[in-house]
Amino acid sequence: MLTDRAVRNSKPQEKPYKLSDGGGLHVVVQPGGSKLWRLKYRFAGKEKLLSFGSYPSVSIASARQKREEAKKQMTAGLDPAVRKKLDKIAEEKAAQNTFGAVVAEHLANMAANGLAETTLAKNRWMLEDLAAPLAKRPIAEIMPIEVLDVLKRVEKSGRRETARKLRGMIGGVFRYAVVTLRATNDPTAPLRGALLAPQVQHRPAIIDERELGVLMRAIDEYDGWPTLRAALQLTALTMTRPGDVRFMRRSEINFERAVWCIPAERMKMRRAHDVPLSRQAMEILQGIWSLSDYGDLVVPSIRSIKKPLSENAMNCALRRMGYAKDEMTSHGFRATASTILNERGFNPDVIEAALAHQDKNVIRRAYNRATYWPERVKLLQSWADLLDQFKSAAAADRRAA
């Protein structure tokens, strides 16, 4: 039997030579000085050779253990060389089926199913950026503790709701891996209840009519980029989400019918949403229409007509007007409209339809969508007229002061 000293002190010669350890195991000393472990064995009547790596990376004890494992495989009727080849293929396949690779497929499927770009971008950010520590791990080997570690990092940064959503998104990737035979289970399942409950934070919104009048006058008098001012005005007038306004396209506006048709892929609930345009909204659109003559976005970025306003552009404009983030946000205009219109006695169902909120009752949802268009046209015009009244009252207060 070989010893470390004997192998270590062996010198290269002009031709390769062997140092035997017994049972077919030997070291081949190459002319270049490398020392390679080999196992000579017979299987199905044929002499074969199996490689175990090089010395000293593979120690004598490790080489002997591999020899014994090979003997067990032969006793079980398996060819060690074939077993090694299959194991290598399995390892390479597992390396290809990393979490990152499955994420890429999963996102491609989501895009093919018509999900909105904003939704895809959010999923991409969470799965590629926040879950980056898992990217290179073979998906079948990922344990619940690894996923929990990623989620806890996000949670500790104060983003509890993001951590909760990330768990669901990671779970979606694993469920896709299970049905495509790349994983056997979803390690996010045991993590239910392992995260802290999200802290509900309502978006700041001005609901006092006089204060709203002051805000709307400040927006009208804003001396920044015209499309940014228009974006704030349209967000207030249409009761839509800021993102809908930012991505508004010229092809979606019908001036003859005074309608803005938002396609389903851009809507949160994946249902096309037609927005009645009040007289005031039409005037704003006509006033900025020429600014996007060479593009398709109605309220493009300051830097490029091919890019929409940035996500924070409207909020930054509100800050420059003197409104802190705990006073008013661009998304708060929806809460503002809903609160004031409900307090003034407008039909709650019509208000919900104008906000594109989906009724949980399927029958009511179909009925409301079919019948509330005339009411919504009146509601949006009434809301625009109310905003004018609030601005007039604010102007009178200013003169009186």
CATH of the domain at 123: 1.10.150.130
Residues 110 and 151 in one domain: yes
Digits of tens for pLDDT over the chain (401 positions)? 888 999 999 999 999 999 999 889 999 999 999 999 999 998 888 888 989 989 999 999 999 999 999 999 888 888 888 888 887 777 777 667 899 999 999 999 998 888 777 788 889 999 999 999 999 999 999 999 999 999 999 998 888 888 899 999 999 999 999 998 888 999 999 998 888 887 655 668 898 999 999 999 999 999 888 999 999 999 999 999 999 999 999 999 999 999 999 987 777 656 788 999 999 999 999 999 988 888 889 998 888 888 888 878 999 999 999 998 888 999 999 999 999 999 999 999 899 989 987 655 555 554 545 558 999 999 999 999 999 999 999 888 888 86
Final residue before a domain boundary, out of 80, 114, 132:
80
Residues 240 and 380 in one domain: yes
| Catalytic residue (choose from 35, 241, 266, 376) | 241
Give which of 358, 355, 317 is closest to 336, Cα–Cα: 355
Residues 249 and 369 in one domain: yes
CB 239 within 8 A of CB 354: yes
Residues 223 and 176 in one domain: no
| Catalytic residue (choose from 357, 365, 369, 378) | 357
CB 17 within 8 A of CB 48: no
> Does 196 fall in a domain?
no
| Catalytic residue (choose from 26, 35, 266, 334) | 334
What span, in angstroms and rounded, lies between the C-alpha atoms of 33 and 38?
16
Residues 214 and 324 in one domain: yes
| Catalytic residue (choose from 331, 365, 369, 378) | 331
> Does 87 fall in a domain?
no
CA separation, residue 377 to residues 30, 161, 277, 345, 347 (Å): 88, 36, 8, 16, 13
Residues 280 and 240 in one domain: yes
Catalytic site residue 331? yes
Domain range for 170 is 99-191
Burial of 328 per CB tally in 10 Å (0-12, 13-18, 19+): buried
Catalytic site residue 367? yes
> Does 204 fall in a domain?
no
**Total structural domains within the chain:** 3
Measured in residues, the chain has a length of 401
| Catalytic residue (choose from 136, 210, 306, 367) | 367
What span, in angstroms and rounded, lies between the C-alpha atoms of 224 and 226?
6
